[in-house]
Amino acid sequence: MDFFKKLERKYQRYAIPNLMYYIVILYGIGLVLQVMPGMSSIYWNYLCLDAAAILHGQIWRMVTFLIYPPALGSMVFTSVFFGVIALFMYYSLGQTLERIWGAFRFNVFFFMGVLGQIVAALVAYLVFGEWIVMTTGFLNFSIFLAFAIYFPDAEFLLFFVLPIKAKWLAVAECALYLYGFAVGSLSTRVEIVISLANVIVFLLLTHNFKRYAPKEIKRRKEFNRDIKIIAPGKTRHRCAVCGRTELDGADLEFRYCSKCEGNYEYCQDHLYTHQHVTKNTNQQ
């Protein structure tokens, strides 16, 4: 968490704002190639993520594979119709995540997904000797999965009729990947894990898991156990340094210090300036 915050402070000026806008433009170019007669072969022959071709010098494929659009149908009209809807949907998902995280964090998340797909394709080819061609499927799902984690109750209209929450769509999609992981080859399993690692790694980097530490859980349990109904005229809060209570001012705020051993409460004037209480301090 602290490591990622340092990176953000140092490199956030290099982040691309409104990144999903440019990604959707790439998707739009890919949609045009897919629906125009005789043009879809251009993507598969020269632009897709092909590990063998990349190792033979076609390094542009590590970027151009991103133009493959999500959710295309089988017919031209259906492809255009659902393709345009998918572009609007993923633009909305990406913009929402960027508003929550900020431009830098969304950039890191997205490009971690891109890197994961490239590494997965190369590992499958170099380590397992399997030639695979990858599109943006895993990348798009990682965006939707991240959205579902933050907004599990957001509703989507399945077939434009049936409302279904994002969490259930994510569960269904995860079940498909788990099935593929269970029955697939070793290279397929590696491909799934590496391609979707950006979700797990990013959440680990950006979330504070200190509240789940045993010491913190114990402190919260002790605090909840010690809370009792306060009789009239008595106080609930008292600063361990100056002795002030909530009766000394309506604007006073009190917090417990997680670094002190025991339930020591401090006002806002002494929360960051007091000497931490430890077992050695108590013995003195």
Could you state, in chain order, the average pLDDT of each consecutive group of 10 residues for the chain (284 residues)?
72 87 91 81 87 90 89 51 83 90 88 88 84 82 88 80 86 87 78 79 64 63 59 70 81 81 82 76 48
CA atoms of 197 and 210, how far apart (whole Å): 22
Q: What is the CATH number of domain 2-206?
A: 1.20.1540
pLDDT score, position 19: 92
pLDDT score, position 74: 41
> The dihedral of CA 106, 172, 68, 200: what is its sign?
positive
Element at 256 (helix H, strand E): strand 254-256
Residues in the chain: 284
pLDDT score, position 22: 93
Contacts with 40 (C-beta within 8 Å, 6 or more apart), sequence order: 33, 34
**pTM here?**
0.66
CA atoms of 43 and 278, how far apart (whole Å): 64
pLDDT score, position 72: 46
Strands (DSSP E) contained in 109-253 are 133-134, 155-158, 162-165
Domain limits, CATH 1.20.1540, in the chain: 2-206
pLDDT score, position 3: 66
pLDDT score, position 12: 81
pLDDT score, position 237: 81
pLDDT score, position 235: 67
Angle at alpha carbon of residue 55, lines to 49 and 59, rounded to 5°: 55
pLDDT score, position 25: 92
Number of H helices, E strands in the chain: 13, 6
pLDDT score, position 76: 42
pLDDT score, position 77: 44
CA atoms of 209 and 199, how far apart (whole Å): 16
